[in-house]
Amino acid sequence: MSNRFSDPLFQLVHSLEKAEKRNFKLYIKRSSAKEDLKIIRLFDALDKLSEYDEPLLLKKLEGIEKPQLSNLKTHLYKQLLASLRLLKSSDNLALQLHEQLDYSRILYNKGLYLQSLKILDRVKELAITYHQDTLLSQVISMEKKIEILHITRSMQDRADRLTQEALDVNDRRRMITRLSNLALQLYSWYIKNGHARNEKDELGIKKFFKDNLPSHVFKQTGFYEKLYLYQSYSMYAFIRQDFLMYYRYNQKWVDLFEEEPNMIAVEMSHYLKGYHNLLNAHFDLRNYEKFDEVLRKLERFSQTELAIEHDNFRIQTFVFINSAKINQHFMLGTFKEGLSLVQFIEQKLKEYALYLDRHRILVFNYKIATLYFGSGDYSTCIDYLQKIINDHVDLRSDLQCYARLLHLMAHYELGNVEIMESLIKSVYRFMARMENLTVIEEEMFKFLRHSFSVPSRKLKVELERFLDKIKHFEKSRFETRAFAYLDIISWVESKVYAKPMSEIIKDKYIKNKRSLIYNKNVA
């Protein structure tokens, strides 16, 4: 990825919207100190640059030497944050509460203890309503400080009440910390490795989960305790490919917000991620109707004022909705129709380059490559896979493996016989080194090696044997890991039955739909 956004100040300036830029200019011009006028010049110069180039920047800033630039950049960064804090405080609960807490401290320092306590009471009420225990802890500490140092003539049981509140909030914070740590560590394991590859991975994840899951965890009633508990179980199930458990806990995750809708605005990112995971669960279970229903809900929500309020939320909804739309085309076999999304996605990836992490781009490149593979455009598929293979990033070793396997299959489809032998050896070595070989892949490599020596009239028989072998593993959790990344069975069936892969998948969808209708009628 380009380093065009490598400078933090440059990133911040280019993340600003028109209203935010205008607000900053008004904010800074209120105090027209000489130094402030210099930072406006610096701001304007950075805003006009398409990428960060310090020598060019210094040329644009006449009269400013390189030693001064560092201090000016630091000053501008602080002023931009101060301007944004003022602008955004009204629509962010955490900023509002911290602002009120700051006011209480100012009043305390002025010796106005009772006024300080009055503000703290209001902050405490809101902190309890919105489960903001970190801030609640600060409020209680401030209250205790005032009670210890000054005679406030407050209620007689205030000391006992504050003591109990402090103990309760600390207990909750300890539980939240343990559960959020567990969820984070499981997610980190997945980002690095993908799904559990074998019994060793499975046993390791089970032991880690059991050792780190607090006892009596299901007795917790707080919002954040339940949120991080569901997240932990969701990731635990996803790593192990227990997709039914994965669905159940992601549904609980989304339901938690439906039960407390006031928390959606406070924890929007968690809410959106819950929907994203729920869509993935329906995709893995091939719950076609539920998938469509949840996707429509997310699309409707993405148009609300709440969802389009901040860059972060707009970007998340773009990622989650378009990832789901591609998955829907995978389920329905409508690969060619799915290609209509590519131009829009590419445009947005470029527009959001400042914000998107490499993992998201890696996944989109793989999904787009798969769309082209399913559409029969193997050359373009290879182009997208090369972006993954050539990007030596230490993320998702599983996706790196399957990108190479799909790359190999695309060359097979193109009939590039002269490079197949060396490619097969290279991909096999890579997957073996990453401990990513399942029986499915072993059988795949055997077939590919053997297929070039088989006369064309006998190839169908070999394909039928290969299909028979891999279909036996369709329900085996470790062996079907490959199917989560590439529908190898449908690909082989397309060869056996001389039909496009898209048609094979579409037929399965129609058959499944008819079966559901029949079962409903019988019931």
DSSP letters for 361-397 = HHHHHHHHHHHHHHHT-HHHHHHHHHHHHTS--SS-H
Contact assessment for residue 506 and residue 334, using Cβ atoms and an 8 Å cutoff: yes
- Does 96 lie in the same domain as 60? no
C-alpha dist (Å) from residue 167 to 21, 113, 171, 176, 229: 45, 24, 6, 14, 22
Strand, coil or helix: 310: coil
* Residue 128 placed within a domain: yes
Strand, coil or helix: 520: helix
- Does 140 lie in the same domain as 44? no
* Residue 169 placed within a domain: no
Task: Give the whole-angstrom CA distance, residue 431 versus residue 420.
Answer: 16
- Does 514 lie in the same domain as 387? yes
* Residue 235 placed within a domain: no
Residues 6+ apart with CB under 8 A from 256: 223, 226, 227, 230, 263, 274
- Does 83 lie in the same domain as 97? no
Q: How many CB atoms lie under 10 A from the CB of residue 255? A: 14
Contact assessment for residue 390 and residue 353, using Cβ atoms and an 8 Å cutoff: no
Task: Give the whole-angstrom CA distance, residue 305 versus residue 289.
Answer: 27
* Tokens encoding 158: 């205030």
Task: Give the whole-angstrom CA distance, residue 281 versus residue 252.
Answer: 12
* Residue 161 placed within a domain: no
C-alpha dist (Å) from residue 255 to 85, 121, 251, 295: 32, 31, 6, 16
Q: Of 130, 212, 140, nearest to 169 (Cα)?
A: 140
* Residue 274 placed within a domain: no
What domain range includes position 141?
Answer: 92-154
Task: Give the whole-angstrom CA distance, residue 254 versus residue 328.
Answer: 20
> How far apart are the two ends of the chain, measured CA to CA in Å?
55
* pLDDT for the residue numbered 267: 95
- Does 79 lie in the same domain as 112? no
Task: Give the whole-angstrom CA distance, residue 290 versus residue 517.
Answer: 14
Quickly count helices (H) and strands (E) in the chain. 27, 0
Which bin fits 214, alpha (ψ -120 to 50), beta or left (φ > 0)? beta
- Does 75 lie in the same domain as 102? no
* pLDDT for the residue numbered 456: 82
Last residue of one domain, picked from the residues 70, 90, 110: 90
* Residue 370 placed within a domain: yes
Last residue of one domain, picked from the residues 63, 90, 117: 90
Domain total of the chain: 3
- Does 147 lie in the same domain as 48? no
- Does 521 lie in the same domain as 465? yes
- Does 120 lie in the same domain as 53? no
C-alpha dist (Å) from residue 70 to 28, 39, 67: 19, 11, 6
Each of the 523 residues of the chain gets a pLDDT tens digit; together they read: 445 567 999 999 999 999 999 999 988 877 666 556 889 999 999 999 989 999 999 999 988 888 899 999 999 999 999 999 888 877 789 999 999 999 999 999 999 989 999 999 999 999 999 999 999 999 999 999 988 887 665 556 788 889 999 999 999 999 999 999 999 999 999 888 888 878 888 999 999 999 999 988 988 889 999 999 999 999 999 999 999 999 999 999 999 999 999 999 999 999 999 999 999 999 999 999 999 999 999 999 999 999 998 889 999 999 999 999 999 999 999 999 999 999 999 999 999 988 888 889 999 999 999 999 999 999 999 999 999 998 866 667 788 889 999 999 999 999 998 999 999 999 999 988 887 778 888 889 999 988 888 888 889 999 999 999 888 887 776 666 667 778 899 999 999 999 999 999 999 999 888 876 766 666 5
Angle formed by the axes of helices 113-129 and 133-149, nearest 10°: 160
Q: Of 400, 324, 410, nearest to 362 (Cα)?
A: 400
pTM assigned to the model: 0.87
- Does 102 lie in the same domain as 58? no
The pair phi, psi for residue 353, each rounded to 5°, is -55, -30
Contact assessment for residue 274 and residue 250, using Cβ atoms and an 8 Å cutoff: yes
* Residue 300 placed within a domain: no
- Does 482 lie in the same domain as 351? yes
Last residue of one domain, picked from the residues 48, 70, 90: 90
- Does 113 lie in the same domain as 27? no
User: Domain containing 436 — which CATH number?
Assistant: 1.25.40
* pLDDT for the residue numbered 479: 63
Q: Which residue has the tokens 């729920």?
A: 278
* Residue 175 placed within a domain: no
Task: Give the whole-angstrom CA distance, residue 362 versus residue 403.
Answer: 10
